[in-house]
Amino acid sequence: GLHYFNPAVLMPTVEVIRSAHTSEETMEAAFGFCVKCGKKPVRVNKDVPGFIVNRVQAPGAVLLRCILDAGVIPPEAVDAVMRGLGMPMGPFEVMDYTGLDVNVNAANYFAETVHPDYAPGRVLLELVAAGHLGKKTGRGIFDWSGGRPKIDLSLNAEGFSPVDLAAVAANEAAKLIEMGVADAETIDRAVVGGMGFAIGPIAAVQGFGPADLAARLENLAAVHGREIFQPCDTIRAGGYKTA
């Protein structure tokens, strides 16, 4: 199968997914078709939920929902920190922009197909039940009634580190490597091209040693009670290191 990214006319990356019955000839034909269309195809060697890009991003969404449910760190502060790193939109604003109902549906899908830890959080479910779906209804995590919410970029999100988002993404990427879905270079290329990020999940954690990265993930798993944050074998062994 072919998985394009929105907006398809602008985003260059296309995931080319091999199913259990896909021949190499078909994979090569699909790859060639994407190239002829001016796209940059990436090979997904196994058909897993979320393929590469959405699968790597899914644990970060769980972490954000945990933060939202805990109610200690304001979503405005998290978005301020992430925008300070160069993101055009913070992650909570992105949730509102895409639609909280869409986020709930995605969470339910991953909860059913990957692990119950992916289930949507309490706050998201309450907002959706109340009809507050984000930008399209004028209210969600933020108030959109007057247009795009104004985020005070000077806010400090004490207790939140962008490294945590990078860590859970890298951990999931390492799991994909273990499953034979793709190698590190392909995963990074897919995420950069599919999400528009400056750097991929594996490249993002090259500065962290295995012990430090594993300890950070273990702490996240303990604090938030999420098994999916536990470091996989590749992280513990330093197999994510490219040099």
Q: Which of 3, 21, 115, 132 is catalytic?
A: 3
Q: Tell me the percentage of the chain whose pLDDT exceeds 70.
A: 100
2-51+162-237 has which fold?
A: N-(1-d-carboxylethyl)-l-norvaline Dehydrogenase; domain 2 (1.10.1040)
Rounded Cα gap, residues 40 and 16, in angstroms = 10
Verdict on whether the full-model pTM lies above 0.85? yes
Give the model's pLDDT for residue 196.
Answer: 86
Give the model's pLDDT for residue 7.
Answer: 86
**pLDDT confidence tier of residue 62, bands split at 50, 70 and 90:** very high
Q: Give the burial class of 49: count Cβ atoms within 10 A of its Cβ; 0-12 exposed, 13-18 middle, 19 or more buried.
A: middle
Q: 210-227 burial, b if ≥16 CB within 10 A, otherwise e?
A: beebbebbeebbeebebe
Lowest-pLDDT choice from 1-10, 124-133, 140-149, 225-234 = 1-10
Beta-strand pair 13-17/40-44: parallel
Superfamily of domain 73-137: N-(1-d-carboxylethyl)-l-norvaline Dehydrogenase; domain 2 (1.10.1040.10)
Angle at 58 between CA 93 and CA 114, to 5 degrees: 145
Domain with CATH 1.10.1040.10 in the chain: 2-51+162-237, 73-137
Angle between helices 53-70 and 162-179 (to 10 degrees): 140
Kindly state the tokens that stand for 23: 């021949």
Give the model's pLDDT for residue 216.
Answer: 98
132 is catalytic: no
**pLDDT confidence tier of residue 150, bands split at 50, 70 and 90:** very high
Q: pLDDT tens digits for 202-243?
A: 999 999 999 999 999 999 999 999 999 999 999 999 999 987
Q: pLDDT tens digits for 4-43?
A: 998 889 899 999 999 999 999 999 999 999 999 999 999 9
